[in-house]
Amino acid sequence: MPVYKIAIAGASSLVGRELKEILSDSPLAASNFALLDEEEAQGQLDQVGDEVTFIQAIAADAFDRADFTFFCGAEDLTRRHWRTALRAGSTVLDLTGALDQENGVVIRAPWLGTEAAAVDLFTPAVAPAHPAALSLALLMDRLQQASPVRFAAATVLLPASELGRAAMDELHQQTVSLLSFQSLPRAVYDAQVAYNMLGGLGEAARFNLGATEARIHRHYQSLTGVRGPHLAIQVLHAPVFHGHTFLIAVELERSLEIAAIEETLSGEHVDLILEETDSPSNLAATGQNDVLVRLRPQPGLRNPAQISRLWLWAASDNLRIHAQNAVACALDLRRLRPQGTVQ
């Protein structure tokens, strides 16, 4: 296999750290890595696989001869540097959501195997699909194979890690402050998120749940196409540190046996939970490579053996799923760089 050079911009971020772990266990583990970030992270000792290196500031020549550049930090970092990486000849993979509405940028999820021909040498960048959109598309695609979907709606519960380290720190600080009857820090959320479920954040918040909801919906539509099941999506912020959870209501065009639906859902990247005592949760999903899902028929059915209405309760490790998809995108794109550029 060719030896590639891979740059990771935003290497100290939560997604960046997960990406380094996934790369270390992938066919790209033998690559030469350049770990890049903002100046405050410069000089931190880090590691990818067996290679120990320092995080560097992003200089003018940081992307020279890089075959792949993963952007994992803040959206602003991506917007400032992605064109520099392109001019250096690197394939850009954006995990930050900054570029998915740029002209020609392709949203991808090789797990679904639906858009392998959509990328060529003239594609400006690739956006690995939002992990919530990927999890939902995977489940809805499986259900659609069993029966056409008449109606589907999903509530997505976002963790603090979705919004980065500063959000996790503030959730922790708010929790401690509430328990000690102190005033709450609000610099990130401009709202109380500890012990609280929210459908929107404060006016001065650094993030916007509506923008995240729109991005998930946009990525879901891109992955499923015009023939995929329509899915209504609502995003809430949950007072947890890690892991996506999903509550999905589905009505199929025809009734099926529960065993047939379970068989359709089962397979690669999906772990079907059959026992009530092992319910999917954000904690259970931490560190897992698959989407955990539990099927429940609509309560009160006359014939529960044959169902058309059902609930899915699912959970996934948001950071790990995102990193896995990004690496899968890079592996799929190797055909455009069969020799690599590192000599």
- Please tell me the predicted confidence (pLDDT) of residue 197: 96
Q: Hey, which residues does 149 pair with through a beta bridge?
A: 252
Is 342 inside a domain boundary? no
State the total domains in the chain.
Answer: 2
Inter-residue contact 129 to 137 (CB < 8 Å): yes
Whether residue 301 sits in one domain with residue 159:
yes
Strands of the 244-257 sheet, one edge to the other:
232-237, 149-158, 244-257, 306-316, 291-297, 270-272
Q: Alpha-carbon distance 90 to 55, whole Å? A: 19
The answer as to whether 343 is a domain residue is no
Sign of the torsion angle spanned by Cα atoms 275, 278, 282, 284: negative
Residues 146 and 270 in one domain: yes
DSSP state of 172: H
Residue from 5, 44, 48, 37 nearest 323 by CA: 48
Find the CATH number of the domain harbouring 158.
Answer: 3.30.360.10
DSSP annotation of 41 reads G
| Within-domain flag for 109 | yes
Are residues 51 and 146 located together in one domain of the fold? no
Residue 74 sits in the same domain as residue 89: yes
- Rounded Cα distance between 206 and 132, Å, is 20
Measured at the alpha carbon of residue 18, what is the angle toward residues 214 and 102, in degrees to the nearest 5?
35
Q: How far is CA 122 from CA 108, 118, 127, in A?
A: 16, 11, 15
Tokens 């992938």 belong to residue: 26
Query: Which domain covers residue 11, as residue numbers?
Result: 5-128+323-336
Whether residue 274 sits in one domain with residue 147: yes
> Are 100 and 230 in the same domain?
no
Continuous segment of H or E residues that includes residue 234:
strand 232-237
- Judgement on whether residues 137 and 124 belong to the same structural domain of the protein: no
Same domain, 229 and 80: no
Question: 185: exposed, middle or buried (C-beta count within 10 Å: 0-12, 13-18, 19+)?
Answer: middle
Do 332 and 218 share a structural domain? no
Q: Which two tokens stand for residue 4?
A: 């590639």
Residue 168 lies in a domain: yes
User: Which CA distances in Å does 299 have to 95, 232, 311?
Assistant: 39, 21, 9
Position 55 scores a pLDDT of 80
Per-residue pLDDT of the chain (343 residues; tens, 9 = 90+): 678 999 999 999 999 999 999 999 999 999 999 999 887 666 565 667 666 677 888 888 999 999 999 999 999 999 999 999 999 999 999 999 999 999 999 999 999 975 544 677 678 899 999 999 999 999 999 999 999 999 999 999 999 999 999 999 999 999 999 999 999 999 999 999 999 999 999 999 999 999 999 999 999 999 998 788 999 999 999 999 999 999 999 999 998 988 899 999 999 999 999 877 788 999 999 999 999 999 988 766 556 667 888 999 999 999 999 999 999 999 998 877 666 654 3
One domain for residues 92 and 231: no
**Cα–Cα distance for residue pair 289/283, rounded to 1 Å:** 13
**Does residue 257 sit in the same domain as residue 169?**
yes
**In the structure encoding, which two tokens stand for residue 242, read together?**
């890690």
- Structure pTM? 0.92
Task: Please report the beta strands in 258-327, taking only residues with DSSP state E, as ranges in sequence order.
Answer: 270-272, 291-297, 306-316
